[in-house]
Amino acid sequence: MAIKEILPKTTVAVRTYKYDGREHRRWEAQISEHHDQLLVLDAKFSEEINHPLLGIIEHGTVSIEYYWLDRWYNIFRFLKPNGDLRNFYCNVNVPPSFSKGTLSYIDLDIDVLVEADLTYTVLDEDEFAANTLRFNYPSEIQRQAYQALEELIQLIKLRSYPFNA
């Protein structure tokens, strides 16, 4: 399925990988929108998750996921089961690819947790530093990762899309 053939409500597989090719996470989501290089997916937690950084994510929590096929990050907007904003979670990653109904990307460790009031915390820079050595991230990957982090911080500070929704 090419990006031009994407239809709303189509179910897609989402796969995240570490730089060495190991699968990190997987889930299914539905396409809610697509505009040029932006895919917006909707997913729902089917069970309660105890996340080490996010705490308990309740069953029924909705994840609205923003993926740009030409950007080095993605953004998740989590809504509580009652529809209220829980928080945002941003991942720095190699730009995703979309092929044959699967959206996949390489996670580059650095994350940004954004609270409902839009205060934010940068997470896992130590993991990025360790994996830079472990996986020998090329200098271009390192540069793009930090540039993506700065872009995310600017989007948050300026209350730009999708932080203005």
Q: Look up residue 161 and give its two tokens.
A: 């899309």
Tens digit of pLDDT at every position of the chain (165 positions): 445 555 667 899 999 999 999 999 889 999 999 888 999 999 988 777 787 777 787 888 899 999 999 999 999 999 998 999 999 999 999 999 998 899 999 999 999 999 999 999 999 999 999 999 999 999 999 999 999 999 999 999 999 999 997
User: What pLDDT does 7 receive?
Assistant: 61
All structural domains of the chain with their residue ranges? 3-157
d(CA 143, CA 147): 6
d(CA 25, CA 131): 17
Domain 3-157 fold is FomD barrel-like fold (2.40.380)
d(CA 94, CA 19): 9
